[in-house]
Amino acid sequence: MKNQLKELRAERKWSQADLAVLLDVSRQTINSIENGRYDPSLPLAFQIARVFQLPIETIFDDGFQSQD
């Protein structure tokens, strides 16, 4: 799953370790999410969205395109 985590984190000048502390996960987890090697659980995705005060859809792209 593609995501904007690295860009959002960089905008705030947070290290991976800083974000990991805020989310109560390891720095390695943040690295894996940023590099697309790990998709966060739904509760963690919601927690990430709350930290950045953004909708989940703004941070994560599942590749699904709506047929509006």
**pLDDT at residue 67 in the model:** 65
Q: What is the pLDDT of residue 66?
A: 64
Calculate what percentage of the chain has a pLDDT beyond 90: 87
d(CA 20, CA 13): 14
- Are 15 and 66 in contact by the 8 Å Cβ rule? The answer is no
Which pLDDT band holds residue 10 (cuts at 50, 70, 90)? Answer: very high
CA separation for the pair 22, 61 (Å, rounded): 22
CB atoms within 10 A of CB 59: 20
Residue 41 predicted with pLDDT over 80 = yes
Position 35 confidence tier, pLDDT thresholds 50, 70, 90 = very high
